[in-house]
Every structure is written in structure tokens, then in C-alpha cells.
Structure 1
């Protein structure tokens, strides 16, 4: 706008046509045009002091009665062009730019054109993807440098030809079938002698150019690529911030113009994150440059670098047609694109032409040289920035906001800070911070927190807001402040990077065992002394007593040892001393082992002062009034008295423990009032939930640190993420358990939860992360709750009948099931068999029930080809019905290559034992097993039906007769069974029972779900 009119230098404000006269704080242009662009001053509009500021200054609202200069606007005058303006085009053709155009009035002849009418709403262009590669090209081979796609175009199906739409979508591009769709067409005629001067095209990058350090490319590509990835949420960015980050160094967010380019990006990601099957990948998304953020762009997709949108690779399962998801990510697991909200925090990929140098970031005011101290270099920036901005600037130089690990390092920083500014009490940002609703401090460079220097009186409280830590220039004392405060800051860089946390090596336990009362774990024996008479001791006394026991006060080397100790705490009430102390002014283990792991509670270490001024210097495992922090470490006065943990090495002469660690896979695990089973099969969150429910269990909930610690031990051997029962499928930030338990205990990974709508998994280190619920992860954790608790949706206050003959009933949800798979009979005989037991032939109403039945069929897979379904075709209704006359609303049909029509009264139906899909065929000469189904009656109703009120005598007669009949049936059954065994050979019927611990206990083995179990048919 500043190029349109001349504004005198003495004019500071000018009226424009934006106002909210009609509706306060609802602004509109005075000429009625749409408001598609604004440039408000920060914190505007604000209707200042409610003074009816209803008109606009330089994007600041002011009262309309204020006298100001103004800018006027009127429509431009359009003159009628003469015949000479045709630039030599033939009669009937129109000139524009370098070509003449002719609009046809007749439709192009295509196959089946009459089926699609002749309304003339579309016009063919020369853009097409005939090879169905997803790459659109011009028919004459010209490069696609401009696109103008309609909403959600090109569509998710690859291939087709492009038309121009009319009406409301005037001029926008859409993809149509090249053969079956009819449209008018537009012809173009080139005028080579009359080509006017056009803007210079962007230079094509050279194939021979080089890439900057840290960037990658391939010989057949003209660009270099770099993936920006961090485990920390605060280093992830929104789409706009990621785009800005790329542009600051002269690059752009990734655009993709071909299959080859995308294959190389996939190769680059696999080099960084490792190649694995998609279902075993944790969800990981990266911003790319595709977006539809332009309010005047009719919601069409465009690349942020201006490249034409000629190639697309959207994931079919994410067809988001709303106007909220306007930016696109590349999904690492599927290597396809997903549209999401632009303000989501993600990693990103930048793209740079070969031969281009990286722009050096502008260095804010500060020391121009890095100052070396020991093994690190430091730079002091007097320029004021928020904590987040300061951290970002440090990363430009391969550094982080400084961490501090010793009194010597603190003294070095203080000496240099005092030289930098005249204000001696100036605060400087350092790298210590917390996450929202967390309170645990960590360094931004991922180093361990082993030293603190809090100012006297500082109290570490948990806050809903993120906390960031500063240090003073005089004494180097620390405090926390809102992270949006602008302060100078200190960057620190080293030649080494902190590796991400990895699983401790699970070496075989050393030979030997532990003395009585000592608890074995890996290569150590732990002894907990607490709650007994005389067991509370000062830290020094605890250390000495451990030595008396030929041991030492405990050293916790990794999260597995921590999880083991936490799992044995439920019956202990006091805090427990461990060997960590800062008697040498920084925290270290008493026995000299290097500090490789910390587990501080929120706000710790706090270095509170006692009345005599001595520092708190000893660490204890928290087991106090805030149970959600149980197992974490707190620093306390060493003179306080608490319980303690001792450790010794295993004794070679003693027998080893009976339960080895890690736990054997695929076995039911018992802890306190619950038992667990780890399922090992790639599955989505919903599939995992269904599979757990087929075992009368649920995806596990986690309600306290003890349970969390035990499951951390249980999943260690998996080394892969496992689904748990926490989800937020409706969106928002509120996650809930399937069991409706509260979420008072959480164990999120740093920076989680990251997504508005997601499901939750536990990684191999026990922390929780979010992923898309449709992602396939390698397994899940089921929970069989054995404690009497409130009724959940899978609990039923009813029971199944006792076994009658060979009919052993298995409960599931509202029904009981009896499996007769050792026999193969016709469908009519199957109905008679079930009626004898009071039930009906199997019906299946949903996927959960289908999985339950198929899981049990696996026990009999070698003996049967499946089981009958109680289904038939009704000529009257013209549809399939179950035997109880209810419609078949759920199905799981396999592919039918031959046989009778599905809708035939002569067809019979069954479920396959091998894969759980349904089959059909002629009712003659087919034999299947039988599964009977019976509604679970309330126990009180059963009793009432058997014993009418005030009928004791009748009851005695009925029961006596019933008992006699049972005896006769048993005798006949045993006789026939013995005869059958003699004719057919011995057979052990290992019928499945969920409560079985004998032969049926084999069903506690891991459940391997077939690839088609969820009706995944090709």
C-alpha cells in the first residue's frame, strides 16, 4: 500500500475503510468487500476504554469522531480496446500474454458422453497424469510452474485429466477421468513473433552443485535436503515457524515434484530413524511446504516455495475436508501426506538448491568470540530475548542455552557475566526449565541435573505454566521466571552430543543368589530397611549400617533398577535414603560410580537451607504425602531420619532366584490385584482394545507409580511401543482411561501429550507418548483385574450354567458359549445339538465377538474346518437374518470364488477356523463344528426359576429327579465316550478356559491375530 500513494512525513495516522459500526468488534470494509487480509498492530483491535473505537488507523482502531487524514479509493476506468489490441489474433480468438485463445461451443466426443449430460460446466486443459504416477504434466512437456486447484484437488486417486470449473468454482482446476468424463475445451495458439517480455524464470539449480555441511542430496536431484528433528517438544515448531526457520537460512520447507524426489526423502529419513515395517514405526510427522492458508486461494493446495502442485501423495485414511487442517505433514510410518492444523508442533524438512550457501544468522549484540572453559565454549548475548527465542538462537551456532554442573563452572560464568553489563543484578537465561503441569527441572542440552544454586528462599512449586530459570550476574543465584520475559542469555557448545536414553544392556544375571530378606534384581541384591523399630536413621547412620551388612547404601544406575525398587514400595510408608549426596558441592554417588541416571521429583533438588545454614545434601526416594511422586528423588537434610536401601552383589554360593528377569514373554504376569498379558502383534489401538476384550480383559489403565514401575519392568524385553488404555479420540487435551478411572497419575514423556486427538502407548522405557489411533504398533498390554472394584462396561453381574454333559460354557459379555469342535455335523443337526442345551447356533453381532470366537477356534484348528453360523436368507424380507429373526448388520465375508449366490435360501453359512472370515456354500454334504450361544441370566433369576416361593417339597422332588437324570446321562455319556475312544484313538480335548491353569492354560500363550482378522480384504 505504501507504493500506491505518497504519504507526507508529518502524517502519522490515516483513515481506511475498516470499521465495526454495525456490530461492535466485528469489522468490515465500508465498500462491502470481504475482509481477507489484516495487519493489526499488536494487541489490536481493542476498542480502547470502550470508547467505541470503530474506525481504523494503521491497523489500530480509533473513535470515528477523531479528526484524521484519509485515503480514498475508486474503481479504475477500463477503456474499450480497439481491434488493434488483438495483437494479430485471428477473428474469434482472444489475445492474452503470449498467446491467442479460442473457446469451443461443442463438446468433445468421449465414450459414454450421454451418461454425463452436456451442461458445459467444465473445460478440458492440457494438464494430465495418464500414467497414474501422481505427477501431473502439460501435454506439450512444459514445466508445471503454476497451479490453481479446487478444494482438495487433485483427488486422492492418482491419474486423470484436468478441467477448469465454472460457477462458484470459476477457473479452479479439478481432476476427471480422461475417458468417461465429457467437457468442453479451450484451444491455445502460440504467437511466437509477438512474445512480450515476461518476468524472468527462476534459475534451474545445477545437478553438479554441492550441498552445505549437514545437508544431503543425490546425483539426479537439483536440491539439498535436511531433516530437523528433536525429542524435545519445545524445539518442534508450528508450520509458520518451521517455514520461517527454513527461510532464515535461505531454504524452503520441502516441496515434492516427483516420485523420485519423494523416494530420496524417504531414504534420508530411513537413514536417520532406521528402516522398519510401517506398523512398528512410532508415529513421526514432519512439516512440508504444502498448505492452503491463503484466504483468497479458494482452499486450493499450494507449495510455499511457489512450485506448481503437480504431484500428490495424500494418505487415503486422512481425507480431512474441513477448513481447519490447512497444512501438511509427511508421515514417517506410511511415507504419505496428512493434512493437520497449522499450529501443531512438529519436526520439519528444509530444501535448498544445490550450490547455494547457507545464510548465516544475524548475530545479536554480544561477545563476538566464544570463550573456552574446560571442554566447552560459551557466548554471552546482551540482546534480550524470550527463553524460547534464546534457545533457538543458540541452536543456530550448534549450541544450547548453558547448563551448569559444578561450582567451578558457575564461578566462570559469574566472572564473565559481570564484565558484560553495567547492571550487576541483571538476570540471564540458562538452559534449566520445566514443562507445563510437570515441575521437574531438566537442562535443554539433555545433560543430567547434578548441581543447583537456587537463591535463598526459592520454593519450587508445580505450575500450570512452563518455568524457565535465570541466574544473577553477581552471585550466580538461580530463580525461575515466566518464559516470555526478555532477558540476555548464555549459549554453550561442546564437541560431544548427549546420546538419547537407551535401554540398559540386559546381560544375564550373575551366578549366585541373595541372602534371606534380600531381593534379587539383575546383578544386585537390594535390602529395604523401613517402618520397623529402630529402622529410621540419618543418612550417615544408614550408610554405616549398610556397611555392617557387608553392603553399601544403594546406587541406582538406571531406570530399571529404579522401577524395581518402586515396585516393592506398596507396603512401605517412609522415604528411603539412597547413596546420592552433594557433600562435594555437586550430586554424586557415595561409592564413586559416575552419575548416569537421575529421577528427581518436581522442584528437586531444591537446596533448601536449615536453621544453621547447612545445605541439604542427601537424596531420598520419595514415599510421602503426594503419592503421584512416589519413587522420585528428593534432596533432604542429611540429619533427618528415614528408611534406607542397601545393596550387595549376588553371592555365588547361593542358589539363584526362581523368577528370572526380564519376565518370560507371552505369559500372564501377576502383580498386586491385577494380572497382565502382553500381546505381540502389529495392531491399531482399536484392534488392541477389541483383542483384549475377547479375553475378558481390557487395555490396561495405570493408576499409580507402583503399577507403572511393574509394567516398565514387564515391557523391557519388548523394546518396542505397546498400546495402553488411555485415549482422547474426541479431541481436546483431556485424556481418559477405558475404565473411567481418574488420571491423577501420569507418566508422560517429555513434551507429551502433543496431539489434540490421539491414543497413548508405553515405550520400552515406560514413558507414555501419543500416536494416531489408526497407527499399527507392535503390541499392547491387557489387564485382568482380579480385585472387586466398580462395575465396568465389560463386567456382568450374571453367570453361565454349570456344565451339562460335554457342554462347558464360557462367558463373554452378555452371553455364554459352548464349543463342540470335536464333532462335524450338518447345519440341521447343529441346531438340534444347541437346543438340547437350551441355546442356539452361534450368531455374531460385531467385530469384538468375531475375534472372541475365532480366538477360541484356534485351539481346535487341527480338528475342524470351522463352525456353523445361525444365519439364513429370508425370501420374504429379501435379506439375511439370524435365527432369532434379527437382521445381519455385521459381516466378515471372505472372497467367494465360486458357489451359490450369497442371497439364496439354499445356502448355509459358517465361520472359518483358520482365519475367522465367513464362508457360504450348499447345505448338502458339508460338515462343520458347532458353537452354541446362550444368554447369561441373572443369578437371582436362575434361583427364582428353579425354586418357586414356598415350594420346598416340590423343590426336593424336582431336584431329586434332576439329579437322577443327570446320573443317567453321565453313565450313558461315559459309555459312549469310552466306545468312541476305542474306535478313534485317544484324544485330549484341551477346551479353552480363561480361568484355567491346567492344560487349558496354554491359551494364555500370546495371541497372534491374522492379517485379515479385521476384515482387511483385497
Structure 2
């Protein structure tokens, strides 16, 4: 029996799977037909020998009669071992195989699977025409999905004939980065690393056309930044514009065929295709003699090294090295790097030039001595993506990592030259205080054992020489050991670390204090063992091995004359801040962050949150009791344990050593090769909790730690501004147009935010990343694509989204919260926004008021507010409102859309209309000049308008206008209405207009004789008893008694007056009908309107307020009333009266016409007589107000449809009075 797909156990001989009858104690365990969907066939390990039904506390137990059942308790009969061995059933687990090609999109093989009524427990060549191993991805092969099995053969791989490398393009697969990496490794390959333009060109030529995104081997390491997963040097840059992204969790890279085969960073959990790579046989390293060096040069690995602290430009430094017979240092491998950091006197504050540069080819780094680039050790964030300057490389920082800088900067430097074959007389003595054969580093001497021994035997051998198995306190110590043994042919060397006594806790043979660890991939796992350092390409990493292995070892002791380090006196640490709890005896405090599910974070977001408040995710180094009572019961939260990249093992995000493990039983299992971050699980029955590995992109609560005495939050000012690196920020989550947003910031002595660095961009993005919507920045883009920060900051960093910026209009920038990139937006749109200021304003400081510009307008421009307008047409006019390339209608100058004046039919059917709005009015800023008085006539088309700010009766207001040879205003079109409406809004008071029905025969007619072609009556207007009309501050017309006093508007016109048409008298016949429908209805705005759009200049309502939506006229008194649309009424039609055409001289036409009239008259008389004799109501028929393509149903009148079409289509009228 063996493990197989889906956590099942497969009996090879029976071709069946182990399963349980149920999920209860005593359920029989037996062999069943394999079913990958059955929970009763899924098992998990609780330790090396204990098997349980998955997610159940039910364990396999062998009964005395050798039957198998589920039990709740555990004992000797629950311990399962592999037949013929002492190994437990869980010591050999199953490795899932990812398919290649076929039609399964890279899914894992399903074993066993049935094909043509046969069961297959392994890959097979059955029915394969090319005799290639394949498998199915479903148990029953229902959908016939299959793929080839991974092998180490390169038979079907394209070969680069120049380099001898093989490539496999998996364009049809969809895997995460980790799964793709595992798929390549299953074929003895790795995800492709691209280290020069020639390889990039070869791969680009092999990728088929289309929008393909394929994983490559580039991953983000928390210490070294971007590096290749197969340890190839990161010397060539091919990033797409804007990449790599600074977003948390974007730690992997893919090649984008649609983007000229450039690289883009991405979340590693995306599912994409991928490229695998197999290089040729690695070259045999040359045998290098150690050689000799004269003082002050120090020998290592066949070369001499000299550190200079005199600062020079890169080219001058190179010149100095060449004068001494060498060149700027070439770092060939991790051993050279470790030697420089540990044995040249390098200090953590040094910044020293090395020979790497991209002077010859931008983005391609080479050594100055033309050596092959085989190793890099970049600092996080380097090399910078830049195309505007040559870059030279320096080594700096505590770990001696590399950064690229301008070659013109001045720094110290390291020279290197070939060592001599003869010993000089002035060698530097390196191993003072150490016995012969021992090597000194710092205050200690080290010796490499010459024989292989078990861990315990090596420990005793070191003790016999007055030393101990080496401990490692920091990276520099580890680097020295790498320089000591990294180039040796042996694979491992014992260090003094083990977890022999307690599988959860690692200790050194000489001390319990573990201050540094450097685990290899998959380490330390959950097993007990002893620790050895690796050599070769992975030199310096630590593996956990069985302590009985025979390996060489490193001994260590204090050098003669060296003084031991005196420990600092213990001080009482400060207390934890409110809400934070002490972490054991450490000088750290921790806090559990939880809340609604919407506020949970990925591991990366949680880490960045903790770092942003001055701490990090919690690291755990001992069992701390009562976590459940402190934090929660039945909870889980992220901790800082994670695998930063595939080439290393678990590390704590705060850099502390991984010296303690507390995994849940069966963990870590790296399910689907996709779990590399740890969560802390807390149960009420388990005081100390336990750990579980999870996908880093999952959402979870989190545990932060901060040093004692730290507040653990961002500092905020008294007025709520967030402080960061000497600046202050305010995040306003209330959407506003740009103008209002900027005014808000200025009231706080700031401005809309400017962003000057990637760190600042990331900081702000983190503050808003879990909220909804977008945020205004203070960046403006003009029509020519130029941009500027509103606060005057220089343009530096730019983080444009794809296809941005869009400079079709004057735009401001919004911050895309999902990606941290920038996108343009019309300034009138409402968004949240971010303010920024340099510091807190003085107490009681006030903002200087904005002074409006003074001046007037040259003809033919018209002043309004601080703008001037020019009307360039006398018909329909364009205005600046449009929906071009934006969602909704906004003003072209970016002003907020505070007011609209849509017609009902336009606003209702807006989506069917064109993108621009008619009303063409030019608009510009006022040029300062002598200010004109306000009581003048302002040109508006053919009219001139003046606002009179005196409280007068209607009669006095009209006389005042007549004194100017004008009249009270006639509002004959919408823009005159709009202009006067704006006057009333600014005046905040109503104004008389030229309507007074006492002066115009009881009808509402303009006093200057103009026809009423436009009205804007308020709800319930016009009133029957109040004859004079004014415009209110909301633009609506209302009636009032004429003796009221108020402001007024005069108008002078040069246009021709069009007299109103004469109306036909309508005679109401008093017969059997008490009322008739007339063509009056209430609009959706609540105002009354005639169906033919004739203005409502006369009303004759009964005393009651109209309650319903349709007008009728009574036959007894002629008064108007309202009725419900579904009532049956007789109705009156109306048509304009026209003149008769002249008679033709053709007598036949005369005769025909007379006969026709006679016939029609006779028929009408007969019909009328029949009608008068009939007591039935009038029949209904298709109404001429609208056309319905559907046949009307008998006896049904669709009044809703009648009015709807009447408003939209403006058909012939029924009746207008």
C-alpha cells in the first residue's frame, strides 16, 4: 500500500483504496473502489506512525482479530509502520505529478485512474503512439483529460545550439509560480533564468504569437531583491514599463509576449503558463592555488585583495587598481563575497566600488576585467530600473550587499589582483593567537576536521582539542565559514546546532542562545536531527540531517589573548502600551489584530502593516502559555514565519533565528506546493497553540510585535493628520470634485498630495488598499501631455497605469487603490482624496482668503462670476458638458457638476443620446482691467439684461424698465431663463419678470408682446387669483399679488416680435356628457403642460387643487378639473384654422368637390341622429396621439403610454385652451 493522489492510500495489488464505512468510532476500515470525491478515503498523518481520517480525530486501529476500525483513542495498536522496516507509514509521502502538454492544462495526475476498463496506478505508455508516459487527471476519465508525465528526458525539448541549453514552453498550462517551479523540478529542470539579451532573444523567438503570460524563474527575496530561483546571476534587466510593482505579495515575475516579451511582476498565486530550462553540464571549476600576497594585500582563493577607503569616482578607482597591477574586484561566487565581508576589515557603514557596471550596455551588467558574471548579491530594491544614466555597483551595509549608483559618485573601493607563486617577505599575518592549521576570525579560531564523524563523535573530538562544534552568531560569522569550506568538495560540515533533546527547540552544544539561523529549502521541517552547513552552489545554507551521518565538521575556540565579550547589564524593560502584551521574557510586546472579514489581510499586507507601526509580525522562540485566554478562542492569525523564496527555508520576517518550531501534527505539508507562510492556530483545549502553513495570499487576522516602550501606531496630529518621514497626510474618504477637495486640503494648510518616491507611493497605497473607490492626487495633466504637481513639487516618480495618462482633456490624477498605479480622471468627478503638508501649522493660524480677480470683459464677452462668456450662435448652442471617454457627463474644464438642466426626455433616455450637449458658449478667465458697475445692461444674444436691486412693486418695476426703453424681462428661451436663474441664485432673492395677466386680458402674456414659447412654472402654479409672476431663487416661476415688492430684471431686445396666434373659440355643448378630456397633463416634474407644447399662459381651475394627472373641462360651468387616466371621457380635438385654396377653373373639380361635401354632410347628419338616439357611451378606438405597432385590445385605453409618447414625440394636440 502507498500514498496516492488526494491524500488517499492505494493498495497496488488490489487496485483499491483504503476507506472507512463512516465517521464514527468503530467504523470498519477496508478496501473500496477508489473515489477521489469521497471524504471517507482521505487520510492525514498526526505523527510518523499515526494515521487519522482527514479533519477528524478518528485514528486507524488494528484490532486483536486483525480487523481495522476507527478509534478515538491512541495506543500501540494505532502505530503503523512500513512492512519490513521501522519507518512509519507517514515517513514516505506522495509527490503529486504535474502533467505536461495534452489537454489537462497542467493539472496533477490522478492515481489510480480507469482507462478502457483498466485501472492504472502509475503513468503508462498504453495506447500512446509515441510510447511516451501519460496519465489521466480524473479517476474515471469522464472528460478524457490527460497529459504526459514528467521525466528527466530532454527528447521533446527545443535545444539552443549555441549554448546547449534546453527549453520547454508550457503555454497551455495554468499553474501558480510554485506549482510551475515544482513541475520543472520534477523534470530535473528549473524555471528559466534569462541572464543576457541573446537568451532573451532566443526565448522570444520560441514563444508563439498571442497574448501569452509565462512564469519565469525570477522571484523577490526579502534581503537580495529580485534574483533567479536557480541561483543564476541577476545581471540583465528586461522589465516592462512601471515594473517591478511595489505591491505586497507581487514576488514573482512572468514574461509577457504582448509587451515585447518584457517582464512583469505579479502575485505568485496567479495561474499562468511557464518555461522550464535545463542548462548544459556545468563547467568544472579550475584548480586554484592559494598563492601569496605582499602587505597590505590579503590572499584568498588565488587572488589578492586590498580595501581602499579613499573616495574616488568609479573610473578613477579603476585607474588606481590598475596602477597596482589589478582591477576593481570581481566577485566570482558566494565564497568571494563572504571573504570580502568577513576578512578584509569591511565595516557596515562602508560603501565601496566593485568592478560590476552597465557602462557598455544599459541594463546588462559586466565585470570591468571582462570575467564571466557568475554571481550577484544585490541589496533589496537594486539594481534600480533606470535608462537615463550609466550605473556602477558598490558594496555596502551590514551584509555587504550590492547597490547600483551613478559612476560619478565618490566612494571607497576594493582592488583585486592575481596572487604570486613565491612567498614575499612582508606578508600580512592573519591568524595571530591561533594554533597552526587554525584560521582566525574576529576573536575566535576555527579548524576544519580532517575525518568524517557522526555529530556526537565530532562534538567529542572538538572537546578533546579544547574547542566545541562551531556556533554561528551572525551573518558575518556565517560568511567566514562559507569562505572557509564553501569551495571544498565535501557536501556537508557539522555545526554545533541540533534539536536532539526537544524536537521543537534548537540549541548549540556550547549555549542555549540561538541568535542566527540560515536554513536551506524545506528546512528545518518537523524532524529531529543535527545541523550541517552546505557547500557548492548553495554554500552557507543549513540542512537538518540524521545525527548518525558521517560528515566533516568545524571546531571553534577563543583566540589566545582575545577578551570575551562582556554582557551588558540587564535593565528592566519598559511596559507595553495599552492593548499590547509582553511576549514571554523578551523585550517585545504583541497584539492580536482582528475585525470584520473585510479587514483581514494577506501575509504580506499583515507584515507591512506591522512594520508600518514600528514592529513586525510576531516571531516565536519558546512555548508561551495561555495564548487562548489572551487573544481568542478558536482563532487563527498570521505570524512572521515564511519561506521568502524557493532557494531558502523558513525564516522569521523580523530576521530573528528559527530556533523553535511548534507545527500542528502533519504540518507543514506545503499543500499543492503553494503554502509558504505560517499561521498561529489557537484552540481552547491547547494552551500553547500550534502552527500551520498556508497560502500567503489567503486572508487572515494577524499578530504584531513591537519593542517594549513603542506606541505601535502611526503618530497623528491633534487635527488628525498622519505623520510619516517628516510629512503629514490626511486621507479624506468623503468623495468630492477636485476643486472642493483641494479647498479642503488648503483649509488644513496643505494641498492635494504630491508623491516624490516609490516608498511614499507604497506608504499611501497601504493606507487605502483595503477601502473602496479611488483617491485624488495633486497631479494635473494638460492637453499636450505635460504634468505638474499643484503644490509646486518637481516631477520625479511617475506610476502610470497601462495606456495612461489620457490627455484628451484637462485632467487630474486619481490613485488606483487596487494596484497603486495612477490614472487620469475628469476633475469634476467626485473621488476621495489625500492631502499633504510639510508640518503642523502654528496655533490659531488661519488660511489667507482667496481674492477674486477684478476686471471686466471686452466685447462681445459677458461677465459672470470670475469668468466671461461669449455666445457664438443664435440657435442651439454647445456647452462644455460631454461624456467623451468617461463614464457620465462632465464639464470640459473640470469644474464640479453641481447643476444640470436636462429636459425630461433627454435625462430619461440619456444613454441613447450623443456624447456632447448643445449650447455653444465660449468661456475664458477675466483679464484684469477696470471693473465695470453692476447696474448695467449685459449683452445676451440679441437681448441685453439688467438686474435691478431695488425692492419695487410690479408696476414700479415695469416703469423703471420703461425709463431705459426696456420692459420687465420676457424669458423666451432656456438660456435666458438659465441666466436670470443664476442671477437669482447669487442674489438669493426673487425677481419680477414681465408677466401680469391683468395687463394682457386675463392671459399670461409677456408685457413686451413676445409669445410665450417657454415656461418654468413651480408645482401648483400658476395660481388663478394672483396675476403677477416672479422667478424664485430655485429658478421656478411663481405667481404673487402685484403690490409685493422685490428685485426685478429688465430686458432690451433688438429681435422681431412674433405675435401669438389667434385661438378658435371652442363651444361647449351641454349634452349627456358632464366633462371632456382636454390636452392638459401633469409632467413627471409635477408641472402642467399642453400636449402640443403650447405654453400654459391661462388657467381656469376650479377652486380645488388639481389632485390627479389629466385635465378635463366641465360642460356646465367651463371650469377645469383633474381626472384619473383610466376614466372613460369624451374628448375634444383641435386643429389650426387655415385659409381655403383658390378654386380651380376646372369645372369637373368643382362638381367633384360639391358632391363630396354633400355626401360627407349627409353621413354626418345621419350619424349624429343615430348617436343622439343611442343611450350607450362613446366607444373607444385607437387614439391618434400615438402609434402602436401592436394591435390594441378592445375596450382598453393605455393612458400611461399615451402620455409617455406625447411627451417624447410631441404629436398633434387634443385641445388647448
TM-score normalised by the chain length of structure 2: 0.33
